[in-house]
Structure 1
Amino acid sequence: MVLLLSKTLRFLQICRLNGKCPATSRAPPLWGATQRLYASSPIDMSFELFEGQTSDPSQAPLITMHGLFGSKQNWRGISKALVQRTNRKIYTVDARNHGESPHTSSHNSPDMSGDVRRFLETRAHPRACLMGHSMGGRTMMYFAHKYPEMTERLIVVDISPIRVPRTTGEMQRIFDAMVNISLPPELPLSEGRKLAKQQLLAATDSNETVEFIMLNLRKDPQTGAFSWACNAQLLREFLPRFHDYRSHFASLPPYKGPTTFICGTRSPYMKREDWPQILEMFPNAEIHWLDAHHLVHFDQPQQFISIVSEFLNRPLSAS
């Protein structure tokens, strides 16, 4: 699926919002052929922790997961703002096969939900508020259905549990270009970026999409080898299975906890006509429509922060 990324780099502006600097935990760097593959068992996700002066450790924390090609860094500005408006700890995580988290041999919502459960259990958090964008939203929706006792409330950002746009063909071409990219190790990072952009633009005419993907380009300071932070090879293999998402819910009851969807009116990832079916899966859900593309939180950051803050601060009895 081609992300609608017309304002992708606005996260640099969002990151200027006031807030404390995050604590960070990361997996070892992954470079080219040296990266280690893990089985489908749960992995330890890289994360950043945001805390404010009013953060209450007795409150369920907020766990935020990004979308395809994203990372925890994309949520720094939003998280700093939310810390100032809520009394919760906020964790942003790198999903498996993204950012600084380990690369694995599988990539699907059930396995990624297992990573979230491991994350909470490792930190002795019996419950959490969950927020996910796109791919991350699908992970968090599945987690809420699978582990309702561990989910206090759920925020889904511009993704539907019913269907997705039929644009996987272009995404396949983009992944092919990423996997087959050729960058001589003697090139400096700036020149490598230029060459990589040229090769990716042969697969898509969306410069914004390419700019977002380029945030994943890495260069080993010792060997000079270029690599992607995201596991492009594995993600390409699992791309066709994205349409099988609803099959994961076949044996699971609805999630009846407080749920809010925040969607863009100019994004194809949520259809208004699907709302009745979504309410069958999330009977205590509400939806907010913002004048935005797929990256709702980048296009309309202040409105997004206000909606999320109000939802997180809302007493459970009033949800």
Structure 2
Amino acid sequence: MQLYSKVIGEGKPFIILHGFLGMGDNWKTLGKEFSEKGFQVHLVDQRNHGRSPHTDEFSYELMAEDIKEYCEEKNLKDIILLGHSMGGKTAMKVATKYPDLIHNLIVVDIAPKYYEPHHQTILEGLTMLQDAELNSRGLADEKLEEYISEWGVRQFLLKNLYWKEKGKLALRMNLDILKEKVESVGKALEESDTFEKDTLFLSGGNSNYIRKEDRELIKSHFPKSNLVTIKDAGHWVHAEKPDDFFQIIMAFIDKFS
């Protein structure tokens, strides 16, 4: 599968994987910052998201294969791989399946455990948008507010809108399949999946995605991992505390470069 990506800069390859219902474009600002430190940053849209192909199949096994094929197609080796939330699960799967591909792994606010589906309200709101006749982003935001009160979350989701034709907005993601496969998004890493290289787990202090009791599980899969918590940040830690986030990641990369 030929994934869509935006590539910024030149240097050591650095792939960033977005979360559920997101797209590579969400990482444009931080991607530019990393590129200015001598990295070739690849902001990748995962399957059924953004501008990448729509398919009826959706699993972490397949998404890991997608990244491996992407690296082969672009001739990328010894990569730094960063993933947030669902992208973090994909990144973990890539690292455990294709360890020779990875130099460093960075996982943002997700653990290798099972998560129950918890996006129902968001998916209902997006379904409403998909079925509505939308001729402005303001109208879309107004309608979505009936489901989602947080302005920041709405803006994140509304990035998926594009002009399908004159006067008509549509959603880029393959919403029907993502709704159908939502159980797969929370899937745990296989018990036997391990990665022996240096790994950074980053969590938001106000987020409940990584709990204290998850540390042992993280170490069992990633024995050379370190967990750093950024205070006063939620699940979108990179958007809420971008300076802290950037500095912690650069310190990690510099240490193991």
The verdict on a shared fold, with TM-score over 0.5 as the criterion, is yes
TM-score, structure 1 normalization: 0.74
Checking the alignment, whether the CA contact within 8 Å between 1:176 and 1:236 is kept in structure 2 is no
Change (3 A) 1:167 1:106: closer
Q: Alignment partner of 1:137: what SS?
A: helix
Q: What is the percentage of aligned positions where both structures have the same residue? A: 29
Q: Give the C-alpha shift of residue 129 in structure 1.
A: 1.2
TM-score, structure 2 normalization: 0.91
Checking the alignment, whether the CA contact within 8 Å between 1:161 and 1:278 is kept in structure 2 is yes
1:84-233 mapped onto 2 (5 Å cutoff): 84-85=36-37, 87-164=38-115, 166=116, 168=118, 171-181=119-129, 182-184=131-133, 188=135, 190=136, 193-222=137-166, 224-233=167-176
Letter in 2 for 1:236: K
Letter in 2 for 1:314: K
Please give the alpha-carbon distance, in whole angstroms, between the structure 2 residues aligned to 1:305 and 1:243.
Answer: 27
Q: Give the C-alpha shift of residue 202 in structure 1.
A: 3.0
* Mapped pair 1:67 → 2:7: no
Change (3 A) 1:273 1:234: same
Checking the alignment, whether the CA contact within 8 Å between 1:183 and 1:226 is kept in structure 2 is no
Checking the alignment, whether the CA contact within 8 Å between 2:125 and 2:148 is kept in structure 1 is no
Change (3 A) 1:278 1:217: same
Point out the structure with max Rg over C-alpha: 1
Please give the alpha-carbon distance, in whole angstroms, between the structure 2 residues aligned to 1:211 and 1:301.
Answer: 17
Please give the alpha-carbon distance, in whole angstroms, between the structure 1 residues aligned to 2:117 and 2:206.
Answer: 16
Q: Give the C-alpha shift of residue 251 in structure 1.
A: 4.3
Q: CA RMSD in A?
A: 1.9
Query: Which of 241, 244, 247 pairs up with 1:306?
Result: 247
Checking the alignment, whether the CA contact within 8 Å between 2:8 and 2:40 is kept in structure 1 is yes
Q: Give the C-alpha shift of residue 262 in structure 1.
A: 1.1
Please give the alpha-carbon distance, in whole angstroms, between the structure 2 residues aligned to 1:305 and 1:173.
Answer: 31
Checking the alignment, whether the CA contact within 8 Å between 1:154 and 1:260 is kept in structure 2 is yes
- For structure 2, list consecutive stretches of 5 or more residues without a partner in the other structure: none
- For structure 1, list consecutive stretches of 5 or more residues without a partner in the other structure: 1-42
Q: Which has the higher contact order (CA 8 A, sep 6+)?
A: 1
Q: Look up the match of 1:20.
A: none
Q: 1:268-312: CA deviations, max 9, x gaps?
A: 111122101110100000011102111111111111111111222
Q: Give the C-alpha shift of residue 167 in structure 1.
A: 6.0
Change (3 A) 1:76 1:207: closer
Q: Alignment partner of 1:279: what SS?
A: helix
Q: Give the C-alpha shift of residue 196 in structure 1.
A: 2.7
Letter in 1 for 2:186: H
Q: 1:146-194: CA deviations, max 9, x gaps?
A: 1111111100011111243x562xx22332332243433xx63x2xx33
Checking the alignment, whether the CA contact within 8 Å between 2:114 and 2:187 is kept in structure 1 is no
Query: Which of 17, 33, 49 pairs up with 1:81?
Result: 33
Letter in 2 for 1:203: Y
1:23-34 mapped onto 2 (5 Å cutoff): none
